[in-house]
Amino acid sequence: MNEFVFSYPTKNYFGEGAAKKALAAELPKYGKRVLLAYGGGSIKRNGIYEEIRSLLEAAGKEVTDFPGIMSNPTYEKVQEGARLVRIKDIDLILAVGGGSVSDCCKAVSAQARLSEDLYEYEYTAHQVPTQGVPLGVIVTASGTGSEQNAGAVITYEEKHWKGALWGTAASFAVLDPAYTKTVPMRQVISGAFDTLSHCMETYLGTPREPNLSDEMNEAVMRSVVRNMKNLSKSEGEDMAARSELMWAAAMAENGILKIGKTTDFQAHMIEHQLGAFTDCNHGCGLAAIQPTLYRHLAPSAPAQYARLAREVFGVEPAGRTDLAQAQEGIDRLERLIRDVGLPTRLHEMGITDERILRAVADTAVRMPGCAKQLTSEEIFALLKEAV
């Protein structure tokens, strides 16, 4: 177990009616001016917008809308939000949406209180913002766990860069599984796969011998696999599975499973650059990359990959080597991805252009917790294999 300092600022309100409960308790803590941030309009179609807006107005708040936050939110959108926060002198940002809305608002919150450019501040001056406009997140599409931490994944289009900006963690988060009922099934499942990916990428970091965080992680991963299958089989009707997946997404990213670990997240770094060059769906991109990547990495940490195979994918050791067990685990992971209807190959997402794969391989960040330090050539080769 590595040494650690752990604290976690987000108060979670989970379950049916959580928004009403949360806003009644939280809104009195903040000033009058609220920025109501959301995506491309799903919350207007499913009634969540009306419900939240009337709760805000009933609490006497002055509401400013910040609509149109796109999937894979851009740096330009962050700047637009920060300008609005400054002009309207906002007291509380309320992000209502999936990971994209939450991420954008985490960065907006920090940028609004910073005179320097946020990207330059973090990547040139190597500083971390220490202040932000208070933020609450109402989750309407689960999977990323974005509402649980301060990291915002932002696409800087001009730079062909998609990566983490340190923003503001939510002071409170609303997790009502019923709010996710209208999310298209493919997005629900890609979100669930994102959660599984976060867990695996945490588990496969260092130290490579299992610690308490890993044993808790195994339980979360087994739950995600089971509930992904159940939700998929029930065509989205299984509310118990939906609830479990929503809390698993939060657990995967609230820091608890990362305690004492240096995480891997190499698959994420590759997928983020794929997103920067193609704007692809995050969970689908991971699904198409991860089995191929793991076939390359397992020989460098066979015992760890074998344990994942046994504990999460039910592989029997049957006197076989760690590597043989690990490979069967990866085959089962790939089968799971196919069974729940996600892509296992990049061509299924229309990604075949080798110039893009080359650019992704050349720009993906290398992670210290990964089982092997991959070269650009190795990443390029495995991306071609994943097509």
Contacts with ligand NZQ, residue ranges (CB under 6 A):
39-43, 46, 71-72, 97-101, 103, 140-141, 143-146, 149, 151-153, 179-180, 182-183, 187, 191, 194, 253, 268, 275, 282-283
Range 215-226 burial, b when 16+ CB lie within 10 A, else e = eebbebbebbbe
**Is the link from the previous residue into 299 a cis peptide, with omega within 30 of 0?**
no
Cβ distance to ligand NZQ smaller for residue 67 or 299: 67
194 vs 334 by CB, closer to Zn ion: 194
CB of 11 or CB of 366, closer to Zn ion: 366
Residue number, 100 or 304, with CB nearest to ligand NZQ: 100
Per CB under 5 A, which of residues 142..201 are in contact with Zn ion? 194
* Closest C-alpha among 192, 189, 282 to residue 235: 189
Q: Which is nearer to ligand NZQ, 23 or 107 (CB)?
A: 107
**Strand, coil or helix: what is 49?**
helix
Rg of the chain in Å (alpha carbons): 20
Query: What are 345's two structure tokens?
Result: 């190959």
Q: How many CB atoms lie within 10 A of CB 122?
A: 21
| Binding partner selected for residue 143 from Zn ion, ligand NZQ, none, CB under the kind-specific 5 to 8 Å limit | ligand NZQ
Contact 98, 38 (CB under 8 A): no
Identify what 134 binds: ligand NZQ, Zn ion, none; CB under 5 to 8 Å per kind. none
Smallest gap from Cβ 324 to ligand NZQ, in A, equals 30
Q: Which residue is nearest to Zn ion (CB)?
A: 194
Identify which of residues 72 and 111 has a Cβ nearer to Zn ion in the complex. Answer: 72
Establish if 322 lies at the interface with Zn ion (CB under 5 A): no
Please tell me whether residue 10 adopts helix, strand or coil conformation: coil
CB closer to ligand NZQ, 71 vs 232: 71
Burial 301-322 (b: 16+ CB within 10 A, else e): bbebbbbbbbbbbebeeeeeeb
- For the CB of residue 103, give the shortest distance to Zn ion in the complex, in Å: 11
* Partner touching 205 among ligand NZQ, Zn ion, none, CB below 5 to 8 Å by kind: none
Distance CA 336, CA 234 (A): 16
Q: What span, in angstroms and rounded, lies between the C-alpha atoms of 269 and 360?
A: 9
- In degrees, rounded to 5, the angle at the alpha carbon of residue 36 between the alpha carbons of residues 35 and 38 is 130
Which structure tokens are listed for 259? 């305690």
Helix (H) or strand (E) holding 230: helix 212-233
Which of Zn ion, ligand NZQ, none does residue 273 bind to, with CB < 5 to 8 Å depending on kind?
A: none
The interface partner of residue 183, options being ligand NZQ, Zn ion, none and the CB cut-off 5 to 8 Å by kind, is ligand NZQ
Residue 140 · residue 191 · CB < 8 Å: no
Nearest distance in Å: CB 184, ligand NZQ: 6
At closest approach, how far in Å is the CB of 314 from ligand NZQ?
A: 26
Beta carbon of residue 347, minimum distance to Zn ion (angstroms, whole number) = 22
Which spans of this chain sit near Zn ion (rule: CB under 5 A)?
194
